[in-house]
Amino acid sequence: MNKAHEKCGGDEWRQVIREVILPWALRDTDLGDDVLEVGPGYGATTDVLSRAVPRLTSVEIDEELAAMLTDRYADVPSVEIVNGDATSLSYADDRFSGAACFTMLHHVPTIALQDQLFAEVARVLRPGAPLVASDSLGSEELKAHHEDDTYNPVDPASLPDRLAAAGFVDVNVRVNEFGWGVIARAAD
């Protein structure tokens, strides 16, 4: 990520995540006892999830960010930080009770890779387990914020078909003026 993303580690973004984005995206979803997060970044979402679920595995592709989070959670046995690529997960089928994917899909460079990520998450979820995801809507302002960085925003209207093709059912997409959220369940 470019330098402009360092504010994603700051108090203001953490407060927005904690008080606005996660409550809106999660609603009353029970993620269960063994939760996968993809794309934790600077850890704003990880900090909230780690207090809410019994066991959290967060997969981050950026080596430095993964190392930073590994240090931060070194004394928290219920949280495992993994340096890995969510388009190619190393976990067994049906492992996780729920999955979370916040503000990260626009960093996945192609639609094909985003769809591969969805399919991988579906594969490692137990049948019926929820995926909760959200991201910002595409805009010129956000495109400018991603100068020299990947910017591939998801069109929320594409999500029902794409998530169904990836192995999800009960796809529920919501959109507000800032972003989209989706809750879906891994197919049986």
Ligand X SMILES: C[S@@+](CC[C@H](N)C(=O)[O-])C[C@H]1O[C@@H](n2cnc3c(N)ncnc32)[C@H](O)[C@@H]1O
- Which residues of this protein are in contact with ligand X, per CB under 6 A? 1, 5, 8, 17, 38-41, 44-45, 59-62, 65, 85-87, 102-104, 107-108
DSSP state of 153: -
Q: How far is the CB of 61 from ligand X (least distance, A)?
A: 4
Q: Which residue of the chain is nearest ligand X when measured via CB?
A: 41
- Judged by beta carbon, residue 107 or residue 185, the one nearer ligand X is 107
Question: How far apart are CB 14 and ligand X at their closest, in Å?
Answer: 8
DSSP code of residue 96: B
* Residues sharing a CB contact under 8 Å with residue 8, sequence separation 6 or more, in sequence order: 1, 41, 42, 44, 103
> By C-beta, is 32 or 179 nearer to ligand X?
179
Q: What minimum distance in Å lies between the beta carbon of 159 and ligand X? A: 18
Cβ-based neighbours of 131, under 8 Å, separated by 6 or more: 98, 99, 100, 101, 118, 121, 122, 125, 163, 168, 182, 183, 184, 185, 186
Q: Which is nearer to ligand X, 12 or 188 (CB)?
A: 12
Q: How far apart are CB 188 and ligand X at their closest, in Å?
A: 26
Amino acid present at 5: H
104 or 184, CB closer to ligand X? Answer: 104
Output the six-digit token pair for 76: 């928290």
